[in-house]
Amino acid sequence: MTFISIEFLLFFAAIVFTYYGIPHRWRWVLLLAASYSFYASLSSYFVLLLLASTVFTYFTGMLIEKQETKKQKKKAMLLGICVLLFFLGWFKYFNFVNDSVRALSTYLNWNYAVPYQEIVLPVAISFYTFQAVSYLVDIYKGKQKAERHYGYFSIYFAFFPQLVAGPIERAKKLLPQFKVEQTLNYENLSYGMKRIAWGFFKKTLIADRLAPIVAGVYDSPDPTGSQIVLATILFSIQLYADFSALSDIAIGCTRMLGIKLTENFKQPHFAVSIGDFWNRWHITLSNWLRDYIFVPLCKGKKKRSEIYVAIVITFLVSGIWHGAAWTFVLWGLIHGFYRVFGDHTKHARGRMASFIRLDKSPSLHKWVKIAITFLLVCFSRVFFRSDSVAAAFENARLFLTFSSWKPSGIVEAAEMFSLLDLVIFGFFFVIMQVFHYIERKNASTWTWLSQRPAFARVAVYILIVVSILVFGVSGEGFIYGGF
């Protein structure tokens, strides 16, 4: 049962109906049962691991709080984090490390006999592990009280709308909302359904229509340079539409229950710098990395070079978190380099813009920065999407080859689309950009729509729903569901 399924919509409709039909004191039981049922439908074998991680984090949190000295609290926190990271490391990174050591041993003619292990990656382990780590650290720092109600804590750990791929929430924001008695509210229901429908729109009409085209190029043994360029740009659109759709559905579902999740995307492809991009893309992960990796690494550091090292390490962690492969490590390092280079050359670039008088046209200057940032992000995604380091470097070479960008080559590469698919994708992509434009001008597209005449609002809602039903295609789940 995935978010993009009739089964999930029926399941969630039953949850909402029951949630508002039972007393508040029993709602935690409903949400907990729903969360574990949903997780079991995705990964029944690892329900026990989720349960074990929950129990361990619950008692570790109370253990940290009971310690009398800061030193004792720190020891308890570090022990808890080490155990949680051991589970994550075993299931997600054992074979990555094992294969890397085996390759190095072969190169150095060492005797290394540890075999490959058939280890299945538990669904959502990266996400709930990060939530658990933030919970323990916040208790240690005095920002969060250890939760005594095991039921509410279990929901925080396994809340089904955001369990699979976030947003990565802090306990101090999410836990109190479970305890507040929510009443049936038309605005929450209406807004929630709109966000869910918009998530379905982006997933089925943008992301899943692009998926086979992108895969056709990246799985090809001999793609042309222009195909790599076009496929990489399309993959960036696919990845955004796919992941932001997942967040839209999660935010919509929780809002219908009266609970507010953190917005995870703010039109990242309109960022004017790499730093701005990471303030807009997967915002809850970016904030987590800032608060729990970058800030501790920078504590007491004053030299710019030391801060640059902290930046690179933070992005290295981001790359490793995204996947157990050297391609993700390289992707993280590329973004670390982007951030360091961008900071180091900030004043020089400002002088250059002034020299060529680009700063005299603020609007043009902004769009130039948006275009450059988008292309830098696209280049990094060559490594994100490629299946091996060798393929990544070859694809990167093709991406950077001047002839790959010739208009005639791009037009020829676009023949990957059938004419009908191109028209359908183009139409719905324009609609998505119109929504983005309204959002940039009015903060919220849905608020802006609510102020339009009833006929116009209903027409837009009907267009979204009918488009999904008639033209929507469904892939095999969400890209970030595999992390």
Q: How many Å apart are CA 37 and CA 20, to the nearest integer?
A: 19
Reply yes or no on whether 24 is catalytic.
no
Q: Which of 322, 344, 347, 436 is catalytic?
A: 322
CA distances from 152 to 17, 171, 299, 456 (A): 20, 10, 34, 42
Between helix 27-43 and helix 47-66 the angle, nearest 10°, is: 130
Q: How many Å apart are CA 24 and CA 39, to the nearest integer?
A: 23
The H-or-E segment that residue 312 falls in is: helix 304-322
Report the SS3 class of residue 477: coil
Question: In 244-403, where do the E strands start and end?
Answer: none
Tell the residue number behind the tokens 């043009």, with chain if given: 364
Question: In 164-245, where do the E strands start and end?
Answer: none
Report the SS3 class of residue 155: helix
Long-range CB pairs of 301-304 (<8 Å, 24+ gap) are none
Question: In 428-482, where do the E strands start and end?
Answer: none
Closest CA to 151 of 321, 34, 306: 34
CA angle, 340 as apex, 393 and 395 as ends, to 5°? 10
Q: How many Å apart are CA 175 and CA 152, to the nearest integer?
A: 7
Q: How many Å apart are CA 17 and CA 27, to the nearest integer?
A: 12
Report the catalytic residues. Answer: 322
